[in-house]
Chains A and B, each alone.
Chain A
Amino acid sequence: MKPFVAVLLAATGMAFAQQAPSKLPPVKFTDTTLDNGLRVIIAEDHFAPVYGIAVSYKVGSRDERQGRTGFAHLFEHMMFKGSENVGPGEHFYLVFTKGGSMNGTTNNDRTVYFEVMPKNQLDLGLFMEADRMHSLAITKDNLENQRQAVKEERRLGVDNQPYGQTFEKMDELVYDNFAYHHSVIGSMADLDAASVADVQQFFKTYYAPNNAVLALAGDLDTKETLAKVKKYFGAIPRQEAPKPVDLSEPEKKEERRYKIDDKLARVPRIDMAYRIPAVTDADGVALSVATSILGGGQSSRLYQKLVKEKEVAVQVFCGVDGRAGPSKFQVIALVRPGKNPQDVENLITEEIAKLNAEPVTDRELQRARTGIRRGMVTSRESALNTAITLADDTALFNDPNRINTASEKRLAVTAADIQKAAQKYLRTANRVVVVSIPAGAPPAAPPPAPKLEK
C-alpha cells in the first residue's frame, strides 16, 4: 500500500525503517466552577519556571448590533486603560517590566486576554485580570484615545493594504446573518459612533465571571493556584447571562461574484470561499484536512497545477476560517502578472471538482495526518499556548478536553469523509468569488513575462 516509500528509499539509497509514531501524553487539567460562575481550568507543566494565563470572554464581533460594528474589539483596547487598582497602561507596563509578555485578541466569536510571566509573578497576573473583570474604569478620554489607536489599526490592516477590502467584501457575501456578515475591525463610521454608555453596557453584559473562562498552565501548584483564584476572583458578582446569538444562515441558492478595483494592489488576486459548517462539525473537520491536500505547501495539488505546471499563479493558499458557527473554506491565488485571472479561476474550479469526483489518495491523506501530528506536538512547547487553547475551547465549545481530542478527530478523517463533505459543501451555488484587480490596470492581454523588465 505504500509504493512511494519504496521509491523514496530506492532513490536515496539510504533505507530508514519508519518508526512507530511517538506518543504525546495528554494535557491533564482540573476544571472548577466558582460560585459566581467563573470556570477555572488549571494545567500543570513544570518544564520551565513560567506560567501562562488566559481569560476568554464569550463575546466577539458576532454579538455586535447594527451601527456598532468593531465594538467588541474596541472594547478589548479599553481593557488596558485601567481599572480600580490598576492605572491606565499600568497593566502592560507591569507585565513587560516584570519580564513577561501579554496581549489580547478579538475574533468573531470570543475575546481573549493573556499573559506569560515568570512563575514568581503569579499573584500579579491573577490580580490584574481580576481587577479589570471587576472594575473596569471607563472614561471619555480613554475611549477617545483608543478609538484613535483602533482606527489606526484599521488603516494599517485594511485601508492602507493591497487586498484590504477583499476580506471584508468576502464576509459580506458569504454571510447573510449580521452576526458574521461584518468585519471584526468594524467600519470607521461605527467606530466613531461608539459612546461611553455603549462601553459601560457592554462591560456589564459580557464581562461577567459567568461569561468567562480562566485558564492557567505552567509551573504552578494546582491547589495553591486555585486558592489564589478564589481570593482574587471570588467576589466579582455574577450578571444575568447574555442571550445566545443566532448564527444560522439561509441556504445559498446561487454563486455570488464581486470585482474590486484595488487602488493599492499591483498584482491581481482571486479569492474564493465556500460556506461550511462549524469547526466542531464532522464535515467541517473533514474539509479542514482537505485544505492541506488542496493547497498546503509545494506538494499540494493547487501549487503543483497553478504555480508549477501552468505558471498562471505565483502563490496559492488554501485554508479554513474556522468559527464556532458557519465557517469558510477559502482558496486564494495571486495571479501571475500578465495572466488571465479567469484561467486561474477555472483551474481552481477543476481542482475542486476533482475533490468531489474522486477520493483523495492514501498518500495524500497520510501526508496530511503527519502534518497534523507535527502541528499538535509543536503547539505543546508553550505554556501560554496551552492556556489559551484551554480557555478558548471551554468558552466556545464547553469542552476543555478538546485540546486532547481535536487532533485525534482530524487524524481519523477518511478519504470517503472528505469526498462526502466536498460534495455537500464545495458546490458552485455555495460559493463566493471575489476578484481584486489593480485599479487602472489594462484589461488582460499584457506582454509576456520577461518584458516586464524595463
Chain B
Amino acid sequence: MRKRFVLLFAIAALAAAQTPPQGQPAQSLKGVVRLNKAPVSNSVLAVKLPRAVERKLANGAKLLVVESHRVPTITFRMTIPSGDLRDPEGLPGVATATAALIQLGTKTRSAKDIADAAADLGATVAINVGAENGFVAVSALTENFDAALAILTDELLNPTFPQDELDKWKTRQRAAIEQSKSQPGSLANERLMKVLYPGDARRFTRPTVESLGKITRDDLIAHYKKYYVPSGEWAGIAGDITPQQAVAKLDKALGEWKGGPMERAALPLPAPIAEKKVYLIPRPNSVQTMLFVANLAIDRTSPDYIPCMVLNQVLGAGPSSRLFRNIREEKGYTYGIGSFFSASHTLNYFGANTSVRTEVTEPALAELLKEFGDIRDRAVPAGELDDAKSAIVASFVLGLERSGSVLGSWMTQREYGFPEDYWDTYAAKVSAVTADDIQRVAKKYIPLGNVQIIAVGDASKIGELLKKFGPVEEAPPDAN
C-alpha cells in the first residue's frame, strides 16, 4: 500500500521539552497521580496535511479536491449563502424551512420519490442550514455518486415547495419544539443564545411556535431565489475521485445552477457582557442541575485563537483537562464536564457545561468558578502546559484517517482566508504559546466577575443557592 503522508519525526523545541524521563518520582496533578513508569515516545509524529487541489467550477464556485482511494466512497459538500441569519426579522425558521422543503418536492418527484431515490442508491443527499451558512451535501458509494448528485441537481433547480408538505413539516416542528422543552440541553442552549445575542437572529436556535404560524410558501420561494446561489461559494469533494473527474461530474450536474456571488451575512461581534447574571430555568422533577457558564469571547479570526485553544486544552478539553480531573475525578460531582470556544464569523463565545446531581449544585458551581479564577490568576506550570500543547500537536495525525476530515481542514483555511501554510505552521504556532500568553487570554476571555450562568433544574431546590452566584432571573421553558 502506498504511503499517503510525509512523516517527519519533528523533535523541535516542543518535543524536547515534553515528557519527563522515566523513573522520576511520582507527581501529583489534581485528580491524577503520575507514576511516570509507562514507556512514552518523546517524539511527536509530525505530519504534513495532504494538500487539497483547487479548481474552479463552471457555475462560479471554487472547488477543493482531496483524492483518497482508501474506500470506494465520495463525499461532496458546498456552502450556500442561506442561513438562519438571513431570516427576516420576526420570522425565525424561514431558512430552515426552505432547506427542508426543497427536499420535499420537485417538478418531477414527490417527497416520497426523492426519499426512495436516495434510499435506492444508499446515498445521503442533504441540504442543511446553520447560523451563517447553508450546506448542500452528497455522499455515496463511488458507483452511485453520479445518480445521487443528480437528485441534488433536481432539488436545487426544480423545487416546488408543496403547500401540503409545508403544513406537515410545521406539524412536526411544533412537536419538536414541545419535545425540546423536556430536554435540559436544549433548554440551556436556547436560553444561552438569547442571553448572548439578544438583538438579532442569533437568539433563535429553531423556529418558534409563533413564527410557524406566520411562515408562508412565498417566504420560502423568496429565500430560495435569493440565497440558493453558487457563485463565489466554496465546494469540496473528498474520496475516490480525481480532480479531473470531480470537475467534469460537478460541471455536468451543477453547471446550469447559476447566480451569486452573495455578500456574507455580517453581524456585529458583541463584547463580553459586563454584569454577572444567573438564569434559572425551572424543570420540575429534575434530579440533576444542568449548568452552562459562559460569556462572549473571540471569533475564529482573532489573533488570540491559538492561545485560546491551548488555554482550553488545559482548562476543559477532554479528560486530561482541569475541569474533568477536578470536578469529576476528584470530587465525583458529575459524569462529564468540558469547556469550549465557539468561534466562527458570527459566533464568539466561551462556555463550560456539566450536569450535576441537584444536591451538589452549589459546590460544583463554586468549584467550576474556582478553576476559572485559577487559570486567570496563576501561570500554568511548565509540565502541564507542555502536555496541553502536545495533546493538540500530536493528535493532528488522527485526522488523517478520513479524507473528509482533511478536506474539512482545508475548507476552514479557505473559508477564513488563512494563509496557504496555515496547517503546516499550526504545530509551531501552538508550540510557541507561553504561560504568559495563556494568562493574558484567560484574564480577557474566561468570565468570572461578569459570568453568565444558566441553570436548568428543580427550582424549589436550587433557586435560593443560585442567588449566591449573582442576581437570578427565572426563565420558564415556555418563555423560550
Which chain B residues (29-69) contact chain A, with CB distance < 8 Å?
A: 29, 31-35, 37-41, 43-45, 47
What's the interface size class on A, roughly?
35 or more
Most B Cβ at <10 Å: residue of A47, A85, A371: A47
Alpha-carbon distance between A100 and B388 when the two chains are bound, in angstroms: 12
Is the pair A377, B357 in contact by a Cβ cutoff of 8 Å?
no
Residues of B within 8 A of A311 (CB): 168, 171
Given contacts A88-B33, A314-B172, contact A363 B141 (CB under 8 A): no
Is the pair A307, B172 in contact by a Cβ cutoff of 8 Å?
yes
Which chain A residues (148-162) contact chain B, with CB distance < 8 Å?
A: 148-153, 155-156, 159-160, 162
Residues of A within 8 A of B116 (CB): 4, 299, 367
Residues of B within 8 A of A101 (CB): 395, 398
Q: How many residues of B contact A (CB 8 A)?
A: 103
| Minimum CB distance partner of B38 in chain A | A127
Select the stretch in B197-205, B317-325, B374-382, B415-423 that faces chain A: B317-325
B119 sits at the interface (CB 8 A): yes
Q: Scan B373-402; emit 1 where CB is below 8 A from any A CB, else 0.
A: 000000000000001101101111110111
Is the pair B5, A49 in contact by a Cβ cutoff of 8 Å?
yes
Alpha-carbon distance between A96 and B154 when the two chains are bound, in angstroms: 45
Question: Of the candidates B33, B121, B285, B288, which one forms a contact with A155 in the assembled complex, judged by CB atoms under 8 Å apart?
Answer: B288
Alpha-carbon distance between A371 and B121 when the two chains are bound, in angstroms: 8
Given contacts A96-B319, A123-B41, A311-B171, contact A152 B34 (CB under 8 A): no
Residues of B within 8 A of A298 (CB): 111, 115, 119
Is the pair A159, B73 in contact by a Cβ cutoff of 8 Å?
no
| Minimum CB distance partner of A452 in chain B | B174
- Interchain Cβ contacts within 8 Å, total number: 284
Question: Of the candidates A88, A127, A266, which one forms a contact with B32 in the assembled complex, judged by CB atoms under 8 Å apart?
Answer: A88
Residues of B within 8 A of A366 (CB): 120
Alpha-carbon distance between A123 and B22 when the two chains are bound, in angstroms: 14
Given contacts A124-B41, A380-B71, contact A49 B29 (CB under 8 A): no
A157 to chain B, nearest CB (A): 8
Residues of B within 8 A of A299 (CB): 112, 115-116, 118-119
| Minimum CB distance partner of A374 in chain B | B122
A94 sits at the interface (CB 8 A): yes
Q: Scan A86-119; emit 1 where CB is below 8 A from any B CB, else 0.
A: 1111101110111111000000000000001011
B403 to chain A, nearest CB (A): 8
B336 sits at the interface (CB 8 A): yes
Select the stretch in B91-99, B129-137, B327-335 that faces chain A: B327-335
Given contacts A11-B109, A311-B171, contact A50 B209 (CB under 8 A): no
Q: Scan B453-468; emit 1 where CB is below 8 A from any A CB, else 0.
A: 0000000000000000
A52 to chain B, nearest CB (A): 10
Alpha-carbon distance between A370 and B178 when the two chains are bound, in angstroms: 35
B100 to chain A, nearest CB (A): 11
Given contacts A98-B394, A370-B121, contact A120 B41 (CB under 8 A): yes
Residues of B within 8 A of A277 (CB): none
Is the pair B332, A149 in contact by a Cβ cutoff of 8 Å?
yes
| Minimum CB distance partner of A19 in chain B | B143
Alpha-carbon distance between A14 and B43 when the two chains are bound, in angstroms: 54
A296 to chain B, nearest CB (A): 8
Is the pair B142, A99 in contact by a Cβ cutoff of 8 Å?
no
Alpha-carbon distance between A383 and B402 when the two chains are bound, in angstroms: 10
B250 to chain A, nearest CB (A): 14
Is the pair B288, A99 in contact by a Cβ cutoff of 8 Å?
no
Most A Cβ at <10 Å: residue of B34, B38, B325, B387: B38
Is the pair A337, B182 in contact by a Cβ cutoff of 8 Å?
no
Given contacts A89-B325, A336-B171, A377-B73, contact A47 B4 (CB under 8 A): yes
B367 sits at the interface (CB 8 A): no
Alpha-carbon distance between A19 and B387 when the two chains are bound, in angstroms: 50
Question: Of the candidates B40, B240, B397, which one forms a contact with A48 in the assembled complex, judged by CB atoms under 8 Å apart?
Answer: B397
Is the pair A367, B119 in contact by a Cβ cutoff of 8 Å?
yes
Is the pair A155, B287 in contact by a Cβ cutoff of 8 Å?
yes
Given contacts A14-B150, A18-B147, contact A127 B401 (CB under 8 A): no
A128 sits at the interface (CB 8 A): yes
Is the pair B33, A89 in contact by a Cβ cutoff of 8 Å?
yes
B24 sits at the interface (CB 8 A): no
| Minimum CB distance partner of A438 in chain B | B182
Is the pair B26, A87 in contact by a Cβ cutoff of 8 Å?
yes
| Minimum CB distance partner of B7 in chain A | A49
Residues of B within 8 A of A452 (CB): 174, 178, 209
Is the pair A99, B397 in contact by a Cβ cutoff of 8 Å?
yes
Given contacts A265-B182, A311-B168, contact A160 B288 (CB under 8 A): yes
B175 sits at the interface (CB 8 A): yes
| Minimum CB distance partner of A82 in chain B | B33
A131 sits at the interface (CB 8 A): yes
Alpha-carbon distance between A85 and B332 when the two chains are bound, in angstroms: 24
B352 to chain A, nearest CB (A): 16
Select the stretch in A20-28, A199-207, A352-360, A425-433 that faces chain B: A20-28
Is the pair B397, A94 in contact by a Cβ cutoff of 8 Å?
no
B375 to chain A, nearest CB (A): 17
Residues of A within 8 A of B334 (CB): 149, 152
Given contacts A99-B395, A99-B397, A454-B209, contact A124 B39 (CB under 8 A): yes
B353 to chain A, nearest CB (A): 12
Alpha-carbon distance between A69 and B204 when the two chains are bound, in angstroms: 43
A193 sits at the interface (CB 8 A): no
Is the pair A92, B320 in contact by a Cβ cutoff of 8 Å?
yes
Residues of A within 8 A of B39 (CB): 123-124, 127
| Minimum CB distance partner of A377 in chain B | B71
Residues of A within 8 A of B174 (CB): 337, 449, 452-453
Alpha-carbon distance between A87 and B240 when the two chains are bound, in angstroms: 45
Residues of A within 8 A of B328 (CB): 149
Alpha-carbon distance between A149 and B33 when the two chains are bound, in angstroms: 18
A237 sits at the interface (CB 8 A): no
Alpha-carbon distance between A93 and B325 when the two chains are bound, in angstroms: 9
Is the pair B108, A12 in contact by a Cβ cutoff of 8 Å?
yes
A297 sits at the interface (CB 8 A): yes
B355 sits at the interface (CB 8 A): yes
Question: Of the candidates B38, B43, B141, B288, which one forms a contact with A86 in the assembled complex, judged by CB atoms under 8 Å apart?
Answer: B38
B122 to chain A, nearest CB (A): 3
B409 sits at the interface (CB 8 A): no
| Minimum CB distance partner of B325 in chain A | A89
Is the pair A85, B37 in contact by a Cβ cutoff of 8 Å?
yes
A14 to chain B, nearest CB (A): 5
Given contacts A22-B143, A453-B210, contact A90 B401 (CB under 8 A): no
Alpha-carbon distance between A147 and B115 when the two chains are bound, in angstroms: 46
A237 to chain B, nearest CB (A): 21
Q: Scan B127-166; emit 1 where CB is below 8 A from any A CB, else 0.
A: 0000000000000111110110011011000000000000
A450 sits at the interface (CB 8 A): yes
Given contacts A89-B33, A131-B38, A156-B355, contact A337 B393 (CB under 8 A): no
Is the pair B141, A373 in contact by a Cβ cutoff of 8 Å?
yes
A260 sits at the interface (CB 8 A): no
| Minimum CB distance partner of A7 in chain B | B113
Is the pair A120, B333 in contact by a Cβ cutoff of 8 Å?
no
Is the pair B356, A152 in contact by a Cβ cutoff of 8 Å?
yes
Cross-chain pairs A/B with CB under 8 angstroms, 14 sampled: A4-B116, A12-B153, A16-B150, A97-B387, A99-B398, A131-B38, A156-B288, A160-B286, A264-B283, A367-B120, A377-B141, A383-B401, A450-B213, A454-B478
10 A-B pairs besides A8-B147, A99-B394, A299-B118 with CB distance below 8 A are A11-B108, A20-B143, A92-B320, A93-B32, A123-B40, A148-B332, A311-B171, A366-B120, A367-B120, A453-B209
